[in-house]
Amino acid sequence: MTQIIEVSNKKQMKEFVFLPEKIYAGNPYWAPPIWSDEIKAYSPRTNPMLEHTDYCLILALEDGRIVGRNLIYIDPLFNQYYKSKIGFFGAFECGNSPETVRAIMDYTEKWLAAKGMTAIRGPIHPIAENWGFLASGFDTPAVFMSPYNPPYYPELIGSLPGYHKVKDLLAYSGDSDEGYVIPERFVGFSERILKHRPNLSVRRFNKNRMIEDGEHIWRITNIALADNWGYVPVERSVFIDMVKKIGPIADPDAMWFVEDKGAPVGYAFGFPDLNTILRRINGRLFPFGFLDVLFGIKRVRFYRLFGLAVMPDYHGMGLDVLLYTSLYNALRPRGIKLEANYILEDNYSIRNAIEKMGLKLLKTYRIFEKEL
C-alpha cells in the first residue's frame, strides 16, 4: 500500500530533490539539474517564484522506500488573472505503478479541493520552467529548461478518471549537420524589411547591460504574450531571477532585439543547451564541474530558442522572420542544432512560420486537466 507524506524536514527535502537520480539512472536523454541550485529551489526564501504561492511537497512511500513525489500549488496571480480556481501540480516523478500514481494524485486533488480549487492542471513545474509531460520524442535529449519523462507518465495520468488533455505544446528543430538551411527567400525578405523600413534595426543582446536588456524582454513578453493560453504576466523579480540564471551561459549571438528608432519592440531569446554539459558532470558544479561549464559552454552546438515575441502594433510586418534570420546567420558558422519550444498546438500562425522556415516537428508535451 502506498503511503503519502508531506515533506517536513531536511532529510525528506533531500529525498524529494534527488529522487530523479533513481528514476532516470542510466537514461541518456534525461539531464540532471544543477543540484546545488535545486536543493535551494523549493523555499520561498531562496526562490521568488514561490514567494506568493501556497504549495505543498509530497513523497510517496512503499515499504518505507521513496517511490514518487509531487509539488502541489496554487498560483494566486494565475487565478486572479483568469478569474479561476485552478490548482496545479509539477515536479511529478514516480515508478511505473498505477497504484502509486493514484495515491499521489488522490492526495493532490484532496489538498487542492480543501483549499477551494475546482480544477487541477499539470504538470507545470514552476521551479524548472517545465510545462507538460513529454508525450512523443522520447529518443531525443531534453534541452535545458524543458522536461523529460518515461513514456508511462502521460499514459498513467491519462488513464485516471476525469483527466483529459487540455493542451499540447510542440518543439521543432533544425540541424545544420543534417542539412538544415533557412530557405533563401527568408534571407531576402529580411533584407527588404530593413531597406523599406529604415527606422527598424536589429542588434544583439548586450551582456554588459544584462539587467537592462532583460527588462526589455520582460516588458515585451508581458505585452506580446498576454493573450497566449495559460500565460500570466511575470513579476519583474521572477523574470530577472531567470535572466540571472541564464546569464552565465548567455550567448549574444542567440539573443536578438529588433528596434524601432532605438526602442526594442521584439526579441528572439535563445541559449546554448547547458544540458549537454550537465549530463557529463551529473549536475554537480563542484569540485570541478563549474570548469566544464565555464570552458565547455562555448563549444556546445545544441541551442534552444526559448522565446520569440513582437509587440502587437508590429504584427504582420515580418519582424519574427527578421529576428530568426539574424539568429540563424549568427549561429550558422558553428554548425548548430536549434530546438524551438514551447509552441502552442493551436498557435497556427507561429507553427506556419516555423514550418515554412524548414524546422521539423520533434517533440510533443502534454498538459492534463481534471474538474474537482
CATH code for position 102? 3.40.630.30
pLDDT for residue 288: 67
35 and 57, same domain (yes or no): yes
How far are the Cα atoms of 32, 66, 125, 173 from residue 29, in angstroms, in the given order? 10, 23, 19, 16
227 and 151, same domain (yes or no): no
197 and 244, same domain (yes or no): yes
Of 107, 137, 169, the one marking the end of a domain is 169
18 and 78, same domain (yes or no): yes
306 and 210, same domain (yes or no): yes
Q: How many domains does the chain have?
A: 2
If we measure between CA atoms, which residue out of 129, 110, 53 comes closest to residue 307?
A: 129
163 and 279, same domain (yes or no): no
pLDDT for residue 272: 92
41 and 162, same domain (yes or no): yes
Residues of the chain with pLDDT under 50: none
**189 belongs to a structural domain:** yes
**371 belongs to a structural domain:** no
**138 belongs to a structural domain:** yes
182 and 155, same domain (yes or no): no
10 and 108, same domain (yes or no): yes
295 and 310, same domain (yes or no): yes
**372 belongs to a structural domain:** no
**115 belongs to a structural domain:** yes
* pTM for the model: 0.92
106 and 46, same domain (yes or no): yes
144 and 199, same domain (yes or no): no
**319 belongs to a structural domain:** yes
Query: Domain residues for 260?
Result: 174-364
Of 152, 169, 186, the one marking the end of a domain is 169
